[in-house]
Structure 1
Amino acid sequence: MTNHIALFEPLMPANTGNIARTCVGTNTVLHLIRPLGFSLDNKHMKRAGLDYWDKLQLVIHDDLADFLSSIPDLQQLYLVSKFSDKIYSDIDYSDTKKDYYFLFGKETTGLPEQFMRENQDKCLRIPMSNNIRALNLSNSCALVIYEAVRQQHFEGLELTHRYEHDKLH
């Protein structure tokens, strides 16, 4: 079982860097779908991801079609959008024999409307007030991926951490 976060045409290097750090912390593969709004060596993106880039499982796709063709089972693809009646936490992600793919849209415009309409059954929503257009992309990714790993009983993640002094005794 592997979890995947995919970013459709991300624009902001700091968001992508933060998401990359979350992916490393949750053993999640990060997929970036071109065109990107920044260079992968952008200093802001690298700073946001800190020194974890060598641990990141990163896949770059030329376009949305390239990303979709890389998914073995499209039944495990979820599109995260405010245009859905299904709440992300109501979905069952507990089958550890399956891979789960969470596709997030561009910060300014989300996912293409026609694509969303054609895949309405795959759309999930994060509840929020109508006082904002959307949550921050990095926060949205963290919410969804942590719900998935929670349902998977945090498999492969460190559940407790000890102070160095405690490890010596």
Structure 2
Amino acid sequence: MSLHVVLVHPEIHWNTGNAGRTCLATGATLHLIEPLGFSLSEREVKRAGLDYWEHVDVRVWKHWDLFEAEMPRLGEPWFFSTKGTTSFWDAPLGDADGAVLVFGRETAGLPAELHARYADRFVTMPMHSAHIRSLNLSTSVAVGVYEVLRQRRALGR
């Protein structure tokens, strides 16, 4: 059963490094959709991923359309957004053989065209305080990935 994390136009190297570390810990593949707000050769990315970065399965895509063409072969897509109407707890993230968790950039989230095209695949994380708009990107990745693993375990997968 495959698990894929997709960061669409990530802007902050620390978040990407931390997401990569989570992917390595859980056996997930990290997909980065360009443009990136940093260079992957920057020492900060590697530092955030610590000495694990070289072991992370990272795939870089020149643009969304190239990745989108490959997505059906990877698994069922789930798009994480503060604009989602379904809680990720209520979505069957772990049901399919493959799960593709898609996250937007830190300052603007996912593009409007993805919201329109995949409206029924958008999920959100509950926020109990009106003072918080969203969680940090790398935190959201970790929470989403571990929810997939929790659901798979509950299903005996």
Judge same fold: TM > 0.5, yes or no. yes
The C-alpha deviation readout for 1:125-169, integer Å capped at 9, x for no partner, is: 001132122210000000010000112229xxxxxxxxxxxxxxx
Q: Aligned partner of 2:106: which letter? A: E
Report the structure, 1 or 2, having the larger strand content: 2
Q: What secondary structure, in the 3-state scheme, does the structure 2 residue paired with 1:35 have? A: coil
1:20 aligned residue: 20
Q: What secondary structure, in the 3-state scheme, does the structure 1 residue paired with 2:79 have? A: strand
1:29 aligns with 2:29: yes
How far did 1:117 drift? Answer: 2.2
Q: Aligned partner of 1:49: which letter? A: G
Using the alignment, how far apart are the partners of 2:130 and 2:108 within structure 1?
A: 17
- Of all paired residues, the percent bearing the same amino acid is 39
Give unpaired runs (5+ residues) of structure 2: none
2:125 aligned residue: 126
Using the alignment, how far apart are the partners of 1:54 and 1:43 within structure 2?
A: 12
How far did 1:69 drift? Answer: 0.7
2:6 aligned residue: 6
Runs of 4+ in 1 over 4 A off after TM superposition: none
The structure number with the bigger radius of gyration is: 1
2:42 aligned residue: 42
Using the alignment, how far apart are the partners of 1:73 and 1:60 within structure 2?
A: 17
Give unpaired runs (5+ residues) of structure 1: 155-169
Distance 1:74-1:152 versus aligned 2 partners, 3 A rule:
closer
My pick for the range that moved more, 128-137 or 11-20, is: 128-137
Q: Aligned partner of 2:108: which letter? A: T
2:67 aligned residue: 67
Tell me the TM-score normalised to structure 2 length: 0.91
How far did 1:73 drift? Answer: 5.0
Q: Aligned partner of 1:135: which letter? A: L
Using the alignment, how far apart are the partners of 1:54 and 1:44 within structure 2?
A: 13
2:51 aligned residue: 51
Q: Tell me how many residue pairs correspond in the alignment.
A: 153
Using the alignment, how far apart are the partners of 2:24 and 2:69 within structure 1?
A: 24
Tell me the TM-score normalised to structure 1 length: 0.85
Using the alignment, how far apart are the partners of 1:105 and 1:59 within structure 2?
A: 16
Distance 1:51-1:74 versus aligned 2 partners, 3 A rule:
closer
2:89 aligned residue: 89
The C-alpha deviation readout for 1:15-56, integer Å capped at 9, x for no partner, is: 000000000000000000000110101111111100112221
1:164 aligned residue: none
1:99 aligned residue: 98
The C-alpha deviation readout for 1:88-135, integer Å capped at 9, x for no partner, is: 11122334x611001000100001123212211010000113212221
Using the alignment, how far apart are the partners of 1:92 and 1:121 within structure 2?
A: 12
Q: What secondary structure, in the 3-state scheme, does the structure 1 residue paired with 2:71 have? A: coil
Q: Aligned partner of 1:84: which letter? A: G
Using the alignment, how far apart are the partners of 2:122 and 2:107 within structure 1?
A: 18
